[in-house]
Structure 1
Amino acid sequence: MKILVVTAIKAEYLLTRNDVSHIVTGVGIPNSIYSLTKHMSDHTYDLVVNIGICGSFTSKYNIGTVVEVINDSFSEIGYEDDNGFSQFTNDFDIKTSFNSNQKTDLECADAITVNTVNNRNTSNYLGLLSVDIESMEGASIMMVCEKFNTPSLQIRGVSNFVEERNKKNWNIPLAISNSNHQLDLFLSNL
């Protein structure tokens, strides 16, 4: 099986496996779409695995918990009116949500992909609390994989809670270590 591991930054991938390829896209929606599209224009894979960190909207995940994202949406594609923010429905031919079948034994999560890391006030304003986590690349990777008819898997380690920005409460090394451990287990069982 030909597998590509995709991360936003080099530090998110700790494994030294020879049986997978790895690319670094850069942080955010534009970088991830551009980099993965460019790469997949010249390469084909049986599976693309996006691994990285995330912020959690819910206390059901502790910092360091690793989840598999099965639903991910671009959060800010939509409009505002007197009723607040709404995503486009059938007004335009814009797909903003992507799904993946569960491929691991990890707990499944619903996610949003954001341009700006949120805080609790912003997330309430946008009405985003029906999801579990946020990242800055997930839906981008799922979208590109869908366009290339390539199955995808998204593994995220919780590095922080979505709250007022306070990096003292974050644990990025734990989230990266735990997500890489789960990735290694998954790859070893293929």
Structure 2
Amino acid sequence: MNPDLLILCATPFEIAHFIRLHPGDSKRLTRTGLIIISGKVHHKTYDLMITGPGVFNAAHALTVYLETSSPALVLQTGIGGIFRQTGLNIGDLAVASQEHYIHTGIQTDCLENNPLPFDLIKTDPLTRKGIYFFEQDRVDHTLEILSRTFPANKIKITKGAFITVSAITSSIEQADRLYLAFSPVMEAMEGAASAHIARCYDIPLMEIRSGSNFVGERDKSKWDMDLAVKQLGQVCAAILFE
């Protein structure tokens, strides 16, 4: 049976709070050992897939899944790095309005690449730069759902561009350069890959992340992954309860 929602997350830790609240009714393994948990929250069914981190793992996992199932919606989620310039704090939430795999294109003397001379997805020229827009009505509706779930005086919720990287930003200086080039809200490692595969199969996808750290801050004593993970558990439940 095709579920109402497929939840994608890179690691078990990131989705652990949701699984504690909603452990699911069954589990199955793919041929490559990926775990798919199936369950129900309120009146909606879900599958949950741990993809592994990075663009290659995310693309592989979602392709394997979509070859046999067609969920009504895919939710890419997980923790992410916040860009300080956004005014967000650790534990705040963001919904992606677009994803950008910034390593796509023809290299230039600056961070932003020129477009490739061919589409990565037929008739979608933005994929020449690794850019994937999300359905804006769905993005705005998701913001409304989250605004009803989280207290406005404690949690900031916003929408904006995300960037997908394969090399984690390791300095504040580089983070500043990335923000100047792309004006992103968050940095993560899977979103653009999932967006690409979902587009290939014509399945709607959205991405919601909770900030665990500031981009470029490598001192993990200044991170709060436990808070970010707790927020994600509530995010996934809120989407399913809607």
Output the TM-score relative to the length of structure 2: 0.72
Residue 61 of structure 1 deviates from its aligned partner by 0.7
* Paired residues of 1:46 and 1:150 also in contact (CA < 8 A): yes
Indicate whether 1:159 and 2:186 are aligned.
Answer: no
Q: 1:104 aligns with which of 126, 142, 150?
A: 142
* Paired residues of 1:78 and 1:85 also in contact (CA < 8 A): no
Residue 120 of structure 1 deviates from its aligned partner by 2.5
* Paired residues of 1:63 and 1:160 also in contact (CA < 8 A): yes
Residue 108 of structure 1 deviates from its aligned partner by 0.7
Q: Secondary structure of the residue that 2:56 maps to in structure 1?
A: helix
1:69 equivalent in structure 2:
96
Q: 2:48 aligns with which of 6, 22, 34?
A: 22
Q: Distance in 1 between the 2:131 and 2:110 partners? A: 20
Residue 153 of structure 1 deviates from its aligned partner by 1.5
Residue 2 of structure 1 deviates from its aligned partner by 2.1
Q: Distance in 2 between the 1:85 and 1:156 partners? A: 24
| Greater percentage in helix | 2
Q: Distance in 1 between the 2:115 and 2:81 partners? A: 26
Matched positions, count: 188
Residue 171 of structure 1 deviates from its aligned partner by 0.7
Q: Distance in 2 between the 1:150 and 1:170 partners? A: 34
* Larger Rg over CA atoms: 2
* Paired residues of 2:8 and 2:51 also in contact (CA < 8 A): yes
Q: Distance in 2 between the 1:85 and 1:68 partners? A: 24
Change (3 A) 1:79 1:166: farther
Q: Report sequence identity in percent.
A: 24
Q: Distance in 1 between the 2:204 and 2:105 partners? A: 27
| Greater percentage in strand | 1
2:154 equivalent in structure 1:
none
Output the TM-score relative to the length of structure 1: 0.90
* Paired residues of 1:6 and 1:51 also in contact (CA < 8 A): yes
1:1-190 alignment runs, 5 A limit: 2-13=4-15, 14-15=17-18, 16=22, 18-19=39-40, 20-59=46-85, 60-81=87-108, 83-89=109-115, 91-94=117-120, 95=127, 96-101=130-135, 102=139, 103-105=141-143, 106-118=157-169, 119-125=171-177, 128-189=181-242
Q: CA RMSD in A?
A: 1.8
* Paired residues of 2:102 and 2:112 also in contact (CA < 8 A): no
Q: Distance in 2 between the 1:104 and 1:164 partners? A: 29
Residue 125 of structure 1 deviates from its aligned partner by 4.8
Structure 1: give runs of 5+ residues left out of the alignment. Answer: none
Residue 92 of structure 1 deviates from its aligned partner by 3.1
Runs of 4+ in 1 over 4 A off after TM superposition: 124-127
* Paired residues of 2:198 and 2:204 also in contact (CA < 8 A): yes
Q: Distance in 2 between the 1:131 and 1:71 partners? A: 9
Change (3 A) 1:107 1:124: closer
Q: Distance in 1 between the 2:167 and 2:98 partners? A: 19
